[in-house]
Amino acid sequence: MIHTWHVVANTVEIEWATTEQTPYLDVQTWTEVAGELTALVPEPERARLVIADNFARTVDAYARQAPYEYGGAGDAEPAYDPDKPDGARSGAKTIPLTDMTVIVVDAGAIALGALSVRRLLHHEAQHVRLRQHGDMAWALHRRGPFTRPPGAIFAFVYVAQSLLDEYRCETALEPAVAHASAAMTVAPADFADIAAMFEAITDQYRSDGDLEAAFTSTLAGLDRLASFAAYATATIVRGEQTRAEWAAVEPVMIALDELRAVPSAAATMPQEDLAETVQRLATKAGLMAVSVGFRIEVDEDADQTSFFLLNV
Ligand SMILES: [Zn+2]
């Protein structure tokens, strides 16, 4: 019997969830940028890049394989929707499986050009890094002891986790990679779309009086606001924009100092610091909601949540 030894390269594996008909498949660009991921993650052999021509469906398929504590099969998460309420669209999503972290990327993102694809994947690589360092804020309340700050609805904890992870990923980006794609970097003028999204919620409530629908839309809007504020703060830290340029964008100012005190995804944070930062950011999330016109309060004694539209 002949044994052949294969040296398995320590690289991020690529999976093509595409068909021959995928018209925009630029194999060379994808392969080149995917090759860079290997140097960006601590354990490349436990990471996979999935290039998908049906992005939402592929994300859902992987999300169902995620362990329970991350929101998997037992958790009945809603189907993934890459379209955000302000009209933005996600091009990639990182999903932690049991012993593997998967980045699913929309094959259509190639239309943005190689520099934007690079920026997109370098950002996702930082999510892989957080996960492999055991350092994600996302779902930390399911992985260990966590106390929700009194008065803050649980949705604020999710907003806080998103603020923290997105900020740490964005600040770990090499500035040259970030600078090279203006299309994927936020600027103060972009806040107009976020503000308009919240104004539309109030307008809708004025016309239909549906408080429940307004509440649901507000939570979805806050989720979008969290990643916007995290990206915005990172532009200040990376030296692209100044604090003064962002001064008029109140939710960014609310989160700024708390986020700036946190290390990028390149460094690890002790679990207690991570949990305490999430608690403080959850309180900030409530202030961010007020700054865009909504107050959400939890009465701990009565175990009751109140929702106020401040601009009606
Ligand atoms: Zn991200």
Residues 143 and 123 in one domain: no
User: Ligand 1 centroid vs 20 CA: distance in angstroms?
Assistant: 29
pLDDT at 74: 47
**Range 54-83 average pLDDT:** 76
Give helix then strand counts, H and E, for the chain.
11, 6
User: Ligand 1 centroid vs 122 CA: distance in angstroms?
Assistant: 10
pLDDT at 27: 84
Burial bucket for residue 12 (CB in 10 Å: 0-12, 13-18, 19+): buried
Residues 191 and 252 in one domain: yes
pLDDT-wise least confident of 174-188, 195-209, 231-245: 174-188
Residues 298 and 152 in one domain: yes
User: Ligand 1 centroid vs 121 CA: distance in angstroms?
Assistant: 10
> Which of 100, 133, 166 is a domain's end point?
133
Which amino acid type is present at position 283? T
User: Ligand 1 centroid vs 196 CA: distance in angstroms?
Assistant: 23
Residues 143 and 287 in one domain: yes
User: Ligand 1 centroid vs 77 CA: distance in angstroms?
Assistant: 19
Count Cα neighbours of 67 within 13 Å in the Cβ-side half-sphere: 10
User: Ligand 1 centroid vs 27 CA: distance in angstroms?
Assistant: 24
CB atoms within 10 A of CB 143: 13
User: Ligand 1 centroid vs 234 CA: distance in angstroms?
Assistant: 12
Residues 117 and 145 in one domain: no
From residue 101, alpha-carbon distances to 14, 55, 131, 286 in Å are 12, 17, 8, 31
User: Ligand 1 centroid vs 148 CA: distance in angstroms?
Assistant: 23
Residues 67 and 166 in one domain: no
pLDDT at 76: 52
User: Ligand 1 centroid vs 127 CA: distance in angstroms?
Assistant: 7
Confidence of residue 6 (pLDDT cuts 50, 70, 90): very low
Confidence of residue 9 (pLDDT cuts 50, 70, 90): low
Residue 39 sits in a domain of what CATH number? 3.40.30
Contacts of 288 (CB under 8 A, 6+ apart): 159, 222, 225, 226, 229, 250, 251, 254, 255
Pull the structure tokens for residue 183: 């299309």
Report the C-alpha gap between 53 and 104 in whole angstroms. 10
With a cut of 90, say whether residue 1 has pLDDT above it: no
With a cut of 60, say whether residue 307 has pLDDT above it: yes
User: Ligand 1 centroid vs 186 CA: distance in angstroms?
Assistant: 13
Report residues near ion ligand 1: CB below 5 Å: 166
> Which of 133, 150, 182 is a domain's end point?
133
Contacts of 108 (CB under 8 A, 6+ apart): 24, 53, 55, 91
User: Ligand 1 centroid vs 299 CA: distance in angstroms?
Assistant: 32
**Range 266-270 average pLDDT:** 95
User: Ligand 1 centroid vs 166 CA: distance in angstroms?
Assistant: 5
% the chain with pLDDT above 90: 73
pLDDT at 23: 60
% the chain with pLDDT above 70: 92
With a cut of 60, say whether residue 140 has pLDDT above it: yes
Mode of pairing for the β-strands spanning 294-299 and 101-106: unpaired
Residues 128 and 146 in one domain: no
User: Ligand 1 centroid vs 253 CA: distance in angstroms?
Assistant: 20
Q: What is the dihedral of CA 130, 154, 214, 57, to 10 degrees?
A: 40
With a cut of 90, say whether residue 222 has pLDDT above it: yes
> Which of 133, 168, 188 is a domain's end point?
133
pTM over 0.75: yes
Structural domain boundaries enclosing 65: 1-133
pLDDT at 147: 87
Q: How many domains does the chain have?
A: 2
User: Ligand 1 centroid vs 182 CA: distance in angstroms?
Assistant: 17
pLDDT at 24: 63
Which letter, b or e, does each residue of 163-195 get, where b requires 16 or more Cβ atoms within 10 Å of its Cβ? bbbbbbbbbbbeeeebebbeebbbeeeebeebb
Closest CA to 143 of 103, 104, 96: 96
Mean pLDDT of the chain: 90
pLDDT at 279: 95
User: Ligand 1 centroid vs 123 CA: distance in angstroms?
Assistant: 6
Reported as a single tens digit per residue, the pLDDT across 144-168 is: 888 888 889 999 999 999 999 999 9
With a cut of 90, say whether residue 215 has pLDDT above it: yes
User: Ligand 1 centroid vs 130 CA: distance in angstroms?
Assistant: 11
User: Ligand 1 centroid vs 89 CA: distance in angstroms?
Assistant: 12
Reported as a single tens digit per residue, the pLDDT across 70-124 is: 444 445 556 889 999 988 899 999 999 999 999 999 999 998 999 999 999 999 9
